[in-house]
Amino acid sequence: MDELVGLEQVYAAAERVAGRLHRTPMVESETLDERFGGRLTLKAELFQKTGSYKVRGILNKVLTLDADERGRGVITLSAGNAAGSLAWAARAAGVAATVVMPAGAVPAKVDAARSYGAEVVLVEGDLLAAYERLRDERGLTAVHPFDDPTVIAGAGTIGLELLADRPSLDTVLVPIGGGGLVSGLALVIKELLPSARVIGIEPVNADVVSRSLASGVPEKLPTARSVADGLAAPMCGVHTLAHIKRYVDEVVRVDDDSIVEATRLVMSRTKLALEPAAAATFAALLEGSVTLSPDGLTACVISGGNLDVTTVLAR
């Protein structure tokens, strides 16, 4: 159940999704370097298809389903980016998609999933229970948004690109929701560049991974709420917890005010329209719970850009 993903599965994922997804650029900012006293490099996954890294793992999963699994249609649960990713990937593969989302999801994320042709089911209350009921009633093929070795392997492809573009990394800072991104990324970094540190960052009010590390088993947290909607996962995964225990050096928690401040700071300095989840790593730098080594190079994964833009220019 908790076997770890291997590098060969990540290489296979990279080959499988090649040509369908973007190879996203690295972005640097002198003013951010000055602000935080070190050298930063940003992996701009907000420019990925669907506006989020999520599509890497989800597409990898959809492409490995057999004919029967495809024929039954797929389902996932998501605060947003996995929903859009599954809708997009399923359409590309000619598969019907259902996505279960919280009623309070960012409207743009709901619209995105619908625009890619998915059936969107909005849920008040227990998202996980609603998802499991619908999956079983309709006999749909489950695509977990993060707790799946094939999804984790897809996320790992970011690590291959990161090391190809910036081979002398010192530290990698990664936002954590349910742990899919950090699991795939950390395994690649630690296997290929063991000297690098990998630090995950999650919101204090959606800290299911920190709680799971403390208890030793995957916890649930149905009341997870954060301005970083993309990080408010209601549960930690079995697979993700195993990868985090093995490969991640540290998990740090940040509060929502810092995430808002970080989002505005990074947007104003880099001109990247990042979503708050993607700014969580900078929130940790603002709070001082993570400091940059003055000599090394630190990579931050800008995980997505599906921001609620309705507040922009609000007067």
Coil, helix or strand at residue 57: helix
- Are the CB atoms for 61 and 152 separated by under 8 Å? no
CA–CA separation, 28 and 6 (whole Å):
30
Least Å distance, CB 310 to a second copy, is 7
**C-alpha closest to that of 205 among 231, 241, 168:** 231
Closer of 85 and 150 to a second copy (Cβ): 85
> Is residue 230 at the binding interface for a second copy, with CB under 8 A as the rule?
no
- Residue from 43, 49, 54, 190 carrying the catalytic annotation: 54
Residue 210 falls in the annotated catalytic set: no
Interacting residues of 200 by C-beta distance below 8 A, sequence separation 6+: 174, 175, 176, 179, 182, 186, 209, 244, 248, 250, 251, 252
> Is residue 10 at the binding interface for a second copy, with CB under 8 A as the rule?
no
Single-letter residue type at 304: G
Question: Where are the extended beta strands (E) located within 11-92?
Answer: 26-27, 39-44, 74-77
Dihedral (CA of 59, 61, 66, 72) sign? negative
- Mark 17-56 with x for binding to a second copy (rule: CB under 8 A) and - for no binding: -----------------------------xx---x-----
Residues 267-286 interacting with a second copy (rule: CB under 8 A)? 267-268, 270-274, 276
> Is residue 204 at the binding interface for a second copy, with CB under 8 A as the rule?
no
Pairing of strands 26-27, 39-44: antiparallel
Residue 61 falls in the annotated catalytic set: no
Least Å distance, CB 290 to a second copy, is 21
Instruction: Return the range that interacts with a second copy (CB under 8 A); candidates 59-67, 193-201, 206-214, 257-265.
Output: 257-265
Least Å distance, CB 36 to a second copy, is 16
> Is residue 223 at the binding interface for a second copy, with CB under 8 A as the rule?
no
The set of catalytic residues is 54, 303
Interface with a second copy (CB under 8 A): 46-47, 51, 108, 227, 260, 263-264, 267-268, 270-274, 276, 305-315
